[in-house]
Structure 1
Amino acid sequence: MTKGLAMRGTWKALAAAALAGVLAVSGCGGGDDGGDASQVEVFSWWTGPGEADGLAAMQAHFEKTNPGTKFVNAAVAGGSGTQAKAVLASRLQNRKPPDSFQGHAGAELLDYIKAGQIEPLDSFYEDNNLKQAYPQQLLEQISHQGKIYSVPVNIHRSNMLWYNPKILEDAGIDGPPKTIAEFITALKAVDDRTDKVPLSLGIQWTADHLLENVLLGDLGTDAYNALWKPGADWSSPAVTKALTDFAEIMKYTTQESASSEWQDAAKAVVDGKAAFNIMGDWVYGYYVNPGPNGLGKKLDTDFKYAAAPGTDGTYMWLSDSFTLPRNAPHRGGALAWLKVAGSKEGQDLFNPKKGSIPARKDADKSLYKGYLEYALNEWTSPDTKLAGSFWHGVYASNKWHTDIDTAVGLFLQNKDVAKLQQGLAAAAKNSAQ
């Protein structure tokens, strides 16, 4: 097991807390017992720059190693899977599942497990020696009652700050802010001294993403992680302070961003229109990949990066993974796809383009340059603390996720911090029922 991850015993407790109370699901062990391999329909939300390139690279590898199987890309556009999840829910409810679908590792998978919609994959893991390939802590996050339910493809870092160095220089800011207080001061400086947008933002889910970063930056790693345990106090003064800071930060964001995706918000930074953007490291793939899908920008010239304010030394992680739905129409094709998704070759083709690092421990480190080299070193360092992204599926179930989004949506309309805190506290209470 990776040395850095082996030392993080708190994750076992957090995983157990997230999975507590889930009903047992009976079913087969996900063994490779064949089935129709004439094609495979792979459902994801990877349609944007970087992610689409990564999927295309993995698809090409799949088609090369499975020449008799047709690959059907059923991706649905929309950052963070907001649109795709609604389409998927309808298909699963109507018993018309794809052969494999993308899901964030962690609590997000619990809803599918409880509904009996995905198969455990323990036999598949044994047949392909995958238990040895992944960090133990990650396996715990994708397991329920000792069974594994998905195949992780990557690790992303949610808590990243992307910034335009020239705009910071013009605003008299020496470097990236290291605390939330410094961040607010820097936003004000950009607003006062330049004609640029201090912080670029996109559609509503990017505000949810910003919220998790502000909570982590203000509360610290241990207190943030504790929020997702049963009985956590979402009404505390510390949470009030973090939400007040979130409200202040929101004053410096683009007001016309309701229809803009994360790519638009990220592009504003390298286009010289905005000073800062807080977004996951999928931004890096978008920035540096060549056109037409990427922007072909240069690190340290067109943009720079740092940990989001107040979060240096903490890796707020998430993982994209693929599942095996029950009654998959082309089960043999699905298992062939999962084999590629879990392979060293597949992950090393996918992740450099996506802007993420492999979930496996045996990555070819020579492929990961610039930011990705930094990310890989941070992920495996024994000194790095871990926090799970609630917005991207690690800590919050789909229902809790939706309730948080509802509370944030109301806040964007009324700007009432007290009501936002009440909504978040109610969402946490309802998640335990």
Structure 2
Amino acid sequence: MRKYAVAGAALVLSLALAGCGDDNGGSDGTVAGEITVLTQRTDIVNTVFQEYKKTFEAKYPGTTVKFEAITDYEGEIRIRMNTREYGDVLLIPNSVTADMLPTFFEPLGSVDDLEKKYRFVRSEQSFEGTVYGIAITGNAQGFVYNKRVWQQAGVTAPPKTPAEFLAALTAIRDRTDAIPLYTNYKDKWPLGQWEGARGAVSGDPEAGIKLGRDDAPWAPGKEHFVLDSLLFDAVAQGLTEPDPTTTNWEQSKGLLGSGKVATMMLGSWSIVQMQDAAPEPTDIGYLPFPHQVNGKFHTVMGGDYKNAININSKNKATARAWVDWFANESNYAVDQGGISPVISQAMPATLADLTAADTEFIELAPAPKGEEGLADKVGNEAEIALYDGAYRQRLVDAARGARNETRDQIFADLNRKWAETRAKLR
């Protein structure tokens, strides 16, 4: 399971015409009556979510919770938000930009107040100091790996540098039958997961802001130089799958779970999926990016979908009770292997390897007004979509000899396009 891509601006404009608030709030403030909760979890709506329903209704007698699970969540919700009928509680679609939040969703409180209790509210699904959604779970960034294979190769400690990481992959190639690093090249989006290391290399919460202001992100020593060089070098040294054009995302889960693949760069959301595909779930672990600042590893954590209240809801009091209960008491995040949105809750067992390595968890800082999403805008305009994976396919092709380019030539071209596009957007 992974997030969907953000939709285009035209769609957002059509949504803007549809949203309209309920002037009287539609509720007398009593937590009672029925609410409809929309979810993308079609796989557990009839099991886990039914237990949530029982517990919530027992805590708030007189309430009834109905669930509506949607397979194509993004697509269907975008259509339904052209009406007033899009449930009482729903996950904020990625197609809704920050400035559109007040049009469709009930404010939950100020960032200043809620950031004392919840993660991910400073820069995610908030607008002008007001929060409109609370994350259902959070993700860290790093490498999911098969511990048994790494141990067979004699590697028992997280590599601290790219050179140590490449040495570990080499030991895996030489001492086991596993593919050391699987790129998942063919599906393309997994290569975009490397972008999750933005901030982890530098240990800087302002990495995203600085990227939008930088004319040469692929210059030596910069974050993108470090992380993209690691990918290039791993391919060039024969440490990845023999033919990347034949990779398969769904099959890769079983390959890593069974030990035929040793390592993949993926967000921590993938850990549970890999454990489910493994004969021995305890074989699956998670490594920080192999780079330290002041002797510490870093990982960037961010929120997944956010629970929010339909501004047109007729039962906002019960809807708010559900949003609060889900974040504070359901234990959904930890049970699903994620990071709880509640700051006081401990990191999940799935991230035990990160905590054992004394990894520092950081959240990226919100951009100043007027610079929101600047790095992604530059990348998209320059045709270097950072999370898409396409430009990293170019790197993989060059590294395996399928393109007549060197790493440095590609980096120079990326820097040129980036700087030219930044100049146009100023």
TM-score scaled to structure 2, two decimals?
A: 0.66
The answer as to 2:180 corresponding to 1:198 is yes
Rounded Cα–Cα distance in structure 1 between residues aligned with 2:20 and 2:75: 25
Q: 1:69 aligns with which of 54, 61, 64?
A: 64
- What does residue 388 of structure 1 align with? 364
TM-superposed deviation, 1:303: 3.2
Rounded Cα–Cα distance in structure 1 between residues aligned with 2:365 and 2:145: 21
- Identity among equivalent positions (%) equals 15
- What does residue 255 of structure 2 align with? 268
Q: Which has the larger radius of gyration?
A: 2
Rounded Cα–Cα distance in structure 2 between residues aligned with 1:141 and 1:406: 17
TM-superposed deviation, 1:198: 1.3
TM-superposed deviation, 1:351: 2.3
Provide the secondary structure at the position in 1 that maps to 2:329: helix
TM-superposed deviation, 1:356: 1.8
How many residue pairs align between the two structures? 372
TM-superposed deviation, 1:180: 1.9
- What does residue 341 of structure 1 align with? 326
Task: List per-residue Cα deviations over 1:306-347 (Å, max 9, x = no partner).
Answer: 3222255323111132122443587566434323223x212x
The 8 Å contact of residues 140 and 302 in structure 2, kept in 1 or not, is answered as yes
Task: List per-residue Cα deviations over 1:69-120 (Å, max 9, x = no partner).
Answer: 342232437xxxxxx434444443577644433349xxx6871533754324
Rounded Cα–Cα distance in structure 1 between residues aligned with 2:100 and 2:175: 53
The answer as to 2:207 corresponding to 1:207 is no
In structure 1, the gaps of 5 or more residues are 1-24, 78-83
Rounded Cα–Cα distance in structure 2 between residues aligned with 1:229 and 1:389: 13
The 8 Å contact of residues 151 and 341 in structure 1, kept in 2 or not, is answered as no
- What does residue 318 of structure 1 align with? 302
TM-superposed deviation, 1:375: 6.4
- What does residue 279 of structure 1 align with? 266
Relative to structure 1, is the Cα distance of residues 384 and 303 closer, same or farther in structure 2, using a 3 angstrom cutoff?
A: closer
- Cα RMSD of the aligned pairs, angstroms, is 4.9
- What does residue 81 of structure 1 align with? none
Amino acid at match of 1:303: I
Amino acid at match of 1:279: L
Alignment of 1:18-167 (within 5 A): 33-34=26-27, 38-44=34-40, 46=41, 58-62=52-56, 64-65=58-59, 68-76=63-71, 84-92=73-81, 97-103=86-92, 111-114=97-100, 117-122=103-108, 131=114, 134-135=117-118, 138-139=121-122, 141-159=124-142, 161-167=143-149
Rounded Cα–Cα distance in structure 1 between residues aligned with 2:337 and 2:193: 17
- What does residue 307 of structure 1 align with? 288
Rounded Cα–Cα distance in structure 2 between residues aligned with 1:109 and 1:322: 15
- What does residue 183 of structure 1 align with? 165
Amino acid at match of 2:66: F
The 8 Å contact of residues 39 and 70 in structure 1, kept in 2 or not, is answered as yes
Rounded Cα–Cα distance in structure 2 between residues aligned with 1:52 and 1:296: 26
TM-score scaled to structure 1, two decimals?
A: 0.65
The 8 Å contact of residues 268 and 274 in structure 1, kept in 2 or not, is answered as yes
The answer as to 2:336 corresponding to 1:357 is no
Rounded Cα–Cα distance in structure 2 between residues aligned with 1:181 and 1:217: 17
Moved more, 172-181 or 267-276: 172-181
